[in-house]
């Protein structure tokens, strides 16, 4: 699969600070690396003549700086606001804002009653039920792909080796996209697990590689509801997490046709939905 392996943007997502470290018997001043976190405002402006919208601030999210265009586009795609690359005329990114200029965008954005505000720990503020998400995720996922358990259990180590910021700070999430041969296609890191996935999906959108319907998504932490929603929008048929899935994540995976795995580590995993894609 000839995806562009867009790994890192070269921007540091951490900074060095002085700390007082206590080791049980004594304390000392040390230099430590901590993950950067700052707000990003996502704004969208319509360039056509439709009267009901000219511009709107869509989201404020706490994120790791870097790959902001991908984050913004991935978020708008996963929310059903953007549907194809031709809708984007241009994107302008400044220090803490991204402006996306669109044309022929069929959605009346004034109908979006909620102003998305997300912290780095929650990507689904304001969504109270699976039904509200399933409006945009009624897509038929690929039922034909199969992947072996041996290949699956090899993926976390591959992802870990590429987690540059996590290896520095220990405080950042990763999302990795693999093909069914186990080749790593994209990897992103962010303090927010939902941001890491939005960046990954945004890369695919901007490189015109969506849908990811022959791929496996690996999450470095737990599998939460909003991550399964985003995976469904990108038509990812298999989602694996190093950590545990939530009950709503399992329910949404079952309804949307996703094979969901959890606790993928130390040569073991649990399968929670659509077992048939995994050869055990």
Res 118: pLDDT: 47
Among 95, 126, 157, identify where a domain stops: 126
Answer whether residue 73 is part of any domain: yes
What domain range includes position 190? 147-279
Same domain for 271 and 152, yes or no, is: yes
pLDDT tens readout for residues 133-170: 665 666 789 999 999 999 999 999 999 888 876 666 66
pLDDT tens readout for residues 77-118: 998 889 899 999 999 999 899 999 998 776 555 555 444 544
Res 121: pLDDT: 46
| CATH code, domain with 203 | 3.40.140.10
How far is it between the farthest Cα atoms of the chain?
69
Answer whether residue 77 is part of any domain: yes
Same domain for 59 and 172, yes or no, is: no
Answer whether residue 11 is part of any domain: no
Same domain for 119 and 153, yes or no, is: no
Same domain for 160 and 274, yes or no, is: yes
Answer whether residue 47 is part of any domain: yes
Chain-centre distance of CA 265, in angstroms? 20
Answer whether residue 27 is part of any domain: no
Same domain for 151 and 266, yes or no, is: yes
Prediction pTM value:
0.85
Start-to-end CA span in the chain (Å): 24
Same domain for 98 and 171, yes or no, is: no
Give the position of tokens 């509200």.
132
Q: Which position among 105, 122, 125, 215 bears the catalytic label? A: 122
Res 163: pLDDT: 80
Q: How far apart are CA 257 and CA 228, in angstroms?
A: 10
Same domain for 115 and 154, yes or no, is: no
Answer whether residue 113 is part of any domain: yes
Same domain for 151 and 268, yes or no, is: yes
Number of domains in the chain: 2
Answer whether residue 224 is part of any domain: yes
Res 279: pLDDT: 94
Q: How far apart are CA 74 and CA 68, in angstroms?
A: 10
Strands 278-279 and 38-46: unpaired
Q: What sign for the dihedral angle of Cα 210, 216, 219, 220?
A: negative
DSSP state of 244: P
Same domain for 185 and 110, yes or no, is: no
Residue ranges, the chain, pLDDT below 50: 6-7, 113-115, 117-123, 125-128
Would you call 24 helix, strand, or coil by DSSP? Answer: coil
Q: What is the CA radius of gyration of the chain?
A: 19
Same domain for 153 and 252, yes or no, is: yes
105 in catalytic set: no
| CATH code, domain with 118 | 3.10.20.10
Answer whether residue 134 is part of any domain: no
Same domain for 69 and 122, yes or no, is: yes
Angle at the Cα of 95 (from 74 to 62), degrees rounded to 5?
A: 55
Same domain for 117 and 217, yes or no, is: no
């Amino acid at each position: 699969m000839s995806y562009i392996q867009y790994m890192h943007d070269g921007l540091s997502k951490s900074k060095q600070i002085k700390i007082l470290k206590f080791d049980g018997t004594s304390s000392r001043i040390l230099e430590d690396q901590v993950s950067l976190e700052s707000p990003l405002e996502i704004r969208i402006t319509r360039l056509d003549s439709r009267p009901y919208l000219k511009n709107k601030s869509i989201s404020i999210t706490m994120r790791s700086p870097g790959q902001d265009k991908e984050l913004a586009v991935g978020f708008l795609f996963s929310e059903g606001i953007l549907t194809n690359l031709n809708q984007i005329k241009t994107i302008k990114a400044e220090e803490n804002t991204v402006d996306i200029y669109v044309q022929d965008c069929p959605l009346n954005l004034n109908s979006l009653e909620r102003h998305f505000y997300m912290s780095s720990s929650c990507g689904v503020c304001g969504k109270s039920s699976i039904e509200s998400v399933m409006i945009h995720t009624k897509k038929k996922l690929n039922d034909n792909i199969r992947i072996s358990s041996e290949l699956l259990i090899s993926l976390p180590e591959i992802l870990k080796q590429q987690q540059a910021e996590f290896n520095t700070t220990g405080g950042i999430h990763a999302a990795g996209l693999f093909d069914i041969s186990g080749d790593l296609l994209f990897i992103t890191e962010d303090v927010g697990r939902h941001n890491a996935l939005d960046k990954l999906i945004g890369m695919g959108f901007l490189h015109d590689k969506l849908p990811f319907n022959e791929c496996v998504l690996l999450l470095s932490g737990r599998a939460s509801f909003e991550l399964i929603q985003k995976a469904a929008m990108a038509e990812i048929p298999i989602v694996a997490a190093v950590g545990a899935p939530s009950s709503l994540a399992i329910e949404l995976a079952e309804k949307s046709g996703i094979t969901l795995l959890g606790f993928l580590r130390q040569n073991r995993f649990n399968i929670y939905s659509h077992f048939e894609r995994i050869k055990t």
